[in-house]
Amino acid sequence: MIPGVVADFSKDNGWTFLVKAVLILAFLLLSVLVAIWFERKVVGRMQVRPGPNVHGPFGLLQSLADAMKLLLKEDMNVTSADRFVYLLAPMISVFCSLLVFAVVPFGPQVRLPFTDWSTPAQLTDFPVAVLYVLACASVGVYGIVLGGWSSGSTYPLLGSVRSTAQVISYELAMGLSLVSVFILSGSMSTSTIVDQQTGRWFVIPLLPAFLVYFISMIGETNRLPFDLPEAEGELVSGYMTEYSSMKFAWFFLAEYINMLNVSAVCATLFLGGWRAPWPLSAIGDGMLNTGWWAILWFLAKVWILMFVFVWIRGTLLRLRYDQFMVFGWKRLIPVALGWLVLLAVVQYVRLGAGVSRTTLVTVLAAIGVVIVAVVTFWPERREEPVEGTTTFDAFAGGFPVPPMPGQTLPPSPRTARRPVTVDAATVDAVSTPRSEGSGFDAEEGAR
């Protein structure tokens, strides 16, 4: 037994770990193919169109056809790229995305059919497994950053810079939301956290942390409405602009695997992991929480979260980058930090100070009312106009700068060259013939 870990890996050997690793790899690759088909089908239904329905029954072979297309396309390389880093970047993204599921528990002890041998439905676990997950997600962004930098092009570089700021911003909020789970469970081991949710799922007492994590995981995976590093309308596919064929497919694969990763972590830390929902968990003294049934519950939770990913993509529009960053730094991080402090105080009072539950609930309700009042009625700070001239040179620094409040751009030189537009009534009045020697129209004279 590993200290601080509930799962028992004492009977596993090298072959066991190898078989589990191969099964996890096959599961992820197959899930990506299903996820691509699933996303197109769901978005098609939302947009009142059929989606893929030609290749295979119900279009199930569409993802395989797309994979073969990328495999057989011409592999283009950018002349000005740093060749080694240019090829290494997509491999970093895929490799880091494949590491997360090593510590995700699919279920409890499972017994192989027709044998007496049982093993945990998990590759491995250790006391700081959740920190390992955060480390894999942090290193994975290097693939995006290096891919954009090594391409030797402007738009990929802008996409990689955006990705750096985005991941730093939203990983802070994600990490703070996960600390709430550590405080409540008293462990960072994934199997122990699932074991602590026997009575109730952590999503109930940690609902604010769950909401912060859910928003952060969408920003972490560069999905709509937070796909700013690869915004096609402004960055021409961003950091992937100069990639083609299988190198592009590696980035594409890493994005979908990361969606599965964050969904699995969310199900493990907040939604009870492989435990069945109430009241099904009470049937037959928890019979549905054992063996292969538990794996089915875990997969169901992961795919429900994947559906929410697709649902959000099909309904929300992309944010502006400044809105995205303001939301991360001025909304998510303060909320996550405030909730973390509040939870720590509550845990200390509940476990060490001996305060009654009624008093604790009353104090928390009062604090909640004060917070809501402050957020609702706090006056917004308005930007004061900039002192000085009303016009300024936007190109004074060598590149265009937008005007500050109170400043206006000088008139455009193109307005002097723009032709004067005359409406149709004026043209008719000017072109109508008049009688010679008279001050009125010939038509009026005829009347």
What does the pLDDT look like over 152-169, one tens digit per residue? 888 888 888 888 888 888
**CA pair distance 259, 340, nearest whole angstrom:** 25
Q: Which two tokens stand for residue 123?
A: 């590759």
Contact 109, 200 (CB under 8 A): no
Composition of the chain by helix, strand, coil, percent to 5? 65, 0, 35
Q: Which two tokens stand for residue 39?
A: 């996303």
Q: Which two tokens stand for residue 97?
A: 């995305």
pLDDT over 50 at 272, yes or no:
yes
Q: Which two tokens stand for residue 7?
A: 């799962």
Domain regions of the chain by residue span: 14-333
**CA pair distance 107, 25, nearest whole angstrom:** 17
262 Cβ neighbours under 8 A, 6+ residues apart:
217, 220, 221
Contact 89, 143 (CB under 8 A): yes
pLDDT for residue 435: 44
Chain-wide mean pLDDT for the chain?
80
Name the more confident of 37 and 290.
37
Range list of H helices, 73-153: 83-99, 129-150
**CA pair distance 32, 35, nearest whole angstrom:** 5
User: Model confidence at 263, in pLDDT bands (50, 70, 90)?
Assistant: very high
pLDDT for residue 100: 92
pLDDT for residue 7: 77
10 Å CB burial of residue 441 (0-12, 13-18, 19+) is: middle
What does the pLDDT look like over 195-247, one tens digit per residue? 888 888 888 888 889 999 999 888 888 787 877 777 766 777 778 888 888 88
Return the amino acid letter for 109.
Q
**Does 379 sit behind a cis peptide bond, omega within 30 degrees of 0 on the bond before it?**
no
Return the amino acid letter for 401.
V
Contact 270, 195 (CB under 8 A): no
Q: Which residues pair with 391 in a beta bridge?
A: 408
